Each structure stands twice: as structure tokens, then as C-alpha cells.
Structure 1
Amino acid sequence: MLKIPENKTRKRFRIAQCIFYALLVMLCSMPYIQGATTDGKFFSYSVLDLMSFIGGTADGTLGDAFLNYVMYTPILIIIPVIGFFFCLFDRERNIKNIVSLLCCAAGIVAILAIAGVAMSLGAILSILIYLLISFLTTIAIFARFTKDSSDDNKKQNIRK
């Protein structure tokens, strides 16, 4: 892929994408899954709580159902970390935007598959941020093909 030097607009989009990916990692500490047991007790688990259940045992059939998906919960942290590092280090190529769109799609599918109907606030906010990142990424793809007006002004000042 062609390397094009980063202008101000593309830099702002890249920094915004990095901030939103870092926010997605922090949202993993918020409740992702909520529900009620057969005893009438309510529960709410974050991704970090679910990761601590890996290899453990659960109470009741509802706990056993969640243990089937617990081994996939590290994906919810790995996907935003991959997107963050691609956006952080790729300054001149368009690969960061392609990877960012793939990470957004994979993140939304992972949240819907793991949390399902038991979604809580952290999962809903994560889906909204993934949609925001995908919107920013599509704008950043097209911003790559536009010229920065400050570059044109500099060229005109040099000619004078």
C-alpha cells in the first residue's frame, strides 16, 4: 500500500480512534452481563469477572450456561487492543483503517455472541463506541484522499 505522509486531519482521526479503543478496554471493567438466578438473586459480571471464572465451577444451570462462553471473553479485550496498536503505529498507510473496520465488526459480533440477551451497560456502550469508531474510520479512509489546505497555503506563500 502506498505510504502517504499524515496531515492534520488524518492525525486527528487516528488519535480519536486510539482514544476510543483505549476507552473500550476500560469498559471491560463495567458490567457486561446481567441477569437473575432461579433463587431470585440478581447478578452482574464484567469481562474481568468472567475471565476469573475460567476453569471454575458455577452454581445452577444458568452458571453452567455462562461457563460455556467464559473461555471466549478474552476476545473482548484482545480486539480493542489490536485496533489500538494498529491505529497507534500505522501513520502513513491505510491498513489501520481496514483493520479498524474489521476490529469493529469482530467486536460487535463478539459482544452479541457472548452477552446475547443478558447485555448490560458496558456491552451496550461498547457497541455504541464500536459504531462510532467504524464511522470515524470510514471518514478517515476518505480523508486520506483529500489534500490539507495548509499545504496548499504553504506552496502559495513560497511562490510569492
Structure 2
Amino acid sequence: MPTQRLSMRRIKEVLRLEHFQGLPERAIARSVGVSNGVVHSYLSRARSAGLSWPLPEGMTDEDLELLLFPAPRPASQSPQRPVPDWSYIDKELRRRNVTRRLLWEEYRAVNPDGFGYTWFCTTYEAWKGRVRPSMRQIHLGGKRCSWISPATPSTSSIP
């Protein structure tokens, strides 16, 4: 569960101490009573929003909150990454000396903003939708023993 945000009064105090007093982040953290990481987080949010001290006239707490904590973009507006052609990938993997890494590198060469290697492999496995088949073989001890190796001459007899 995420922690509660600081009150706007305390956030303004962090901004004031950093810009007006020029205190380092540790001193601000001790003064406000929060951790160094929290102070760093709020100051980096303020820098990315272009805020400095004193705050602009007429800025309300709601305006400050919207600047520091912008609403996330809806998923529909996020850029779509191209999805590979899984049937082509499956067909190519059957060829000799073709690896997933090689196919992923080809995919990234065509689509530089494409997905990463881990996503590529996991999604391919999900698309394939099956567990790797294995054939269970039951071996009884001493039933099948062959002591002939490729180095043994072909004229030797089997005991």
C-alpha cells in the first residue's frame, strides 16, 4: 500500500527551505521530519514542473498538486509498439542456427522502439501455448548395454 503524500503545507516548506534558505536535502529532511528520499522526490518533481520559490501569485494548493502530481495518461494514448509476427518467428526457429536472440535483434533493427528481449521470449512462449513435449522412457538396469563406441573397430564382437 503506498504511503500518504505530505500535506501541501509541508511540501511548500520543503520548497521554501531548498530555494530560499539553500539548505541541503538532509537538513530539509531533518527539519520537516521526513526521509531524505521523500525530500529528493518532491524536489525532483518540483524541478520537472519548473517550480521555484516563491511560488507564483494566486497559485492554490490544488494547482500546486496538479503540477507536482500530474494525472497519468490513459492507456489508449500511450504509443503502441509493434508486435512481432509470431507465426514467422515460430517458423524461423525451426531452422538451423536460428535463435530467439537473433530473431529479437532482427525485430529491434526494424523496430527500434520495440519490446525488450524478456518480453519477446515470454510472449512467444505464451503464444506458442504449449509446454515443451518430452517423451518419458523407462530404463531397466542391464537391459540395454552397449559398450561399443565410435572408436571401437567394427570387427569387434559384442559379448
Higher fraction of helix = 1
TM-score normalised by L of structure 1: 0.25
TM-score, scaled to structure 2? 0.25
More strand by share: 1
Q: Highest relative contact order (Cα 8 Å, sep 6+), 1 or 2?
A: 1
